[in-house]
Amino acid sequence: MAIVAGVDSSTQSCKVVVRDAETGALLRQGRAPHPDGTEVDPSAWWSALGAAVDAVGGLADVAAVSVAGQQHGMVCLDEAGDVVRPALLWNDTRSAGAAAELVEEAGGGEAGRRFWADAVGSVPVASFTVTKLRWLARHEPERAARVAAVCLPHDWLTWRLAGAPGLAALRTDRGDASGTGYWSPATGDYRLDLLEGAFGRRPHVPAVLGPAEPAGTVRPDALRGLPADGAVLGPGTGDNAAAALGVGAGPGDVVVSIGTSGTVFSVADAPAADPGGTVAGFADATGRFLPLVCTLNAARVLDAAAAMLRVDLDELARLALSAPAGADGLVMVPYLEGERTPDRPLASGAVHGLTLRTSTAAHLARAAVEGLLCALADGLDALTAQGAAVRRVILVGGGARSAAVRRIAPQVLGVPVVVPPPGEYVADGAARQAAWVALGGAAPPTWSVHGTEEYAAAPVPAIRQRYAAAREHFLDRVDAVAG
């Protein structure tokens, strides 16, 4: 029996699953937390990976390991392979001005956005690595001068597992490369001219591997608990591409993930290029494509609402479900960390519609759940406008553990929602990729997900109508204040 491991190094924590390569049966799982903040020293991810490997009782028996990670994070290395500065994460908005500059330099407005969408499938926003490199070049020129290579969180962890064997050994995959802003999913090539345009020169970048191409072998002494004979390293991928692989998303499936980020995506046969910039035209982990919409505010909206109400997440769900659909007109616009979709990095959240009737904990809890789902419903609209077919939504991520999110989602999203049993679908996708690398073949092994629950409910259009009115009202105010 071949055994494989999958790692999910995401924003809030590192998760490791160990599974049977052929059947997908779960053998062991463990996790460890990541530090808070939008700027993180990669050594914290390495420590968390070590703790998560300890928590699964080690990986001595595994034949292959793949790492999936939060997308976009800028990891800069010097000639010796040391980290130049803490990584700037996908949700760090300090490079919003750099994103605007890059669009301006490409012609500005619609022409600038179209240029980027055609070149790399996506219009850069503050999340993208290319904008972080521009920010670094402008704001920290001494550190920028020391950068010999730039890579992403999953590339760096994979390289460390291989024993950090020199910059030339850095590897990435199509899925994560597509979130840099300097690799084209449509052509499969780097756009080093765009990297140079943003950063001023061309640091080394990882070689881009195909879906089941090995990235090397695990160095047994890189970390405690690794296989003594080494094990094959899969190419790894971004966390959303891994989730698509973990749930086995097929035609008509749209995956909605409620983690630190909210994401809405589907697997497509052709690359996307949305000049509006709402849909990012990423690549997936199977050789296809992954059009995706991402919000900055998702599960943490629930964390924040629970903290405001001084209740735990289960009580928040109970409160939300005890209030009427639409919360009697109480609306939360949940831009608590600024927002990426719509592209308003300076926005803040707002609550609209407070009356004596709606000034209850239950109404606020309901407004928080509905607000975060409305933001994702906007993303679903944008995805379908780009041609995605939606028969059902597959709901995953930590926020899917909320009974209120599960039950209110079909009312807001307007389609049936299926929820796989609570699990780590990003780590599972990485494990499935590792199994593909270990077993070979033209496609990943078929693993079944059992115990999926379906939630159906009549859509309540008034929820989205009131949200849309409040969103526009508050965006106008934010623009007025910022501008």
Ligand X SMILES: Nc1ncnc2c1ncn2[C@@H]1O[C@H](COP(=O)(O)OP(=O)(O)O)[C@@H](O)[C@H]1O
- DSSP assignment of 146-213, as one string? T--EEE-HHHHHHHHHTT---GGG-EEEHHHHTTSSSEETTTTEE-HHHHHHHHSS--B-PEEEPTT-
User: How far is it, in rounded angstroms, from Cα 212 to Cα 189?
Assistant: 18
Q: Does 71 bind ligand 5SP (CB under 6 A)?
A: yes
The binding site consists of 71-72
Asked if residue 167 lies in contact with residue 149, where contact means CB atoms within 8 angstroms, the answer is yes
DSSP 123: -
Q: Does 260 bind ligand X (CB under 6 A)?
A: yes
In our burial notation (b when 16+ CB lie closer than 10 A, e otherwise), range 252-279 reads ebbbbbbbbbbbbbbbbeebbbbbebbb
Whose Cβ is closer to ligand X: residue 392's or residue 401's? 401
Specify whether 239 is catalytic: yes
Q: Does 300 bind ligand X (CB under 6 A)?
A: yes
Q: Does 341 bind ligand 5SP (CB under 6 A)?
A: no
Q: Does 90 bind ligand 5SP (CB under 6 A)?
A: yes
CB 163 to ligand 5SP: min, Å: 26
Within residues 149-178, the interface with ligand 5SP by CB under 6 A covers none
Q: Which residues pair with 398 in a beta bridge?
A: none
Q: Does 240 bind ligand 5SP (CB under 6 A)?
A: yes
Whose Cβ is closer to ligand 5SP: residue 172's or residue 240's? 240
Contact partner, 173, from ligand X, ligand 5SP, none, Cβ < 5-8 Å per class: none
Which of 42, 121, 291, 399: binder of ligand X (CB under 6 A)? 399
DSSP 328: G
CB 203 to ligand X: min, Å: 28
The binding site for substrate consists of 71-72
Catalytic residue among 155, 173, 239, 253: 239
Which of 401, 416, 449, 459: binder of ligand X (CB under 6 A)? 401
Q: Which amino acid is at 8?
A: D
- Which alpha helices (DSSP H) does 248-312 contain, by range? 299-309
Distance of CA 281 to the CA centre of its chain: 14
Calculate the alpha carbon distances from 8 to 33, 64, 74, 151, 379 in Å.
Answer: 12, 15, 17, 17, 24
Q: Which stretches of the chain bind ligand 5SP, using CB under 6 A?
A: 10-11, 70-72, 90, 127, 179, 238-240, 259-261, 263, 294
Q: Which stretches of the chain bind ligand X, using CB under 6 A?
A: 10-13, 259-260, 299-300, 302-303, 313, 397-399, 401-402
Q: Any idea which residues carry the catalytic annotation? A: 239
